[in-house]
Amino acid sequence: MFDAGMAQPYKGPRRGFNLKWTEEDRRLAQTRAGKAGLTMTDYLVTLLHRDEVDPDGCPLWAPTAPRLGQLPMELSA
Which of 34, 42, 37 minimizes the C-alpha distance to 11? 42
pLDDT tens-digit readout, 5-64: 556 676 676 677 677 889 999 999 999 999 999 999 899 999 999 999 999 898 999 887
Cα separation, 14 vs 45, in Å, equals 12
Global pTM reads: 0.58
- pLDDT at residue 77 greater than cutoff 60: no
Residue type, 56: D
Domain boundaries of the chain, sorted by first residue? 23-76
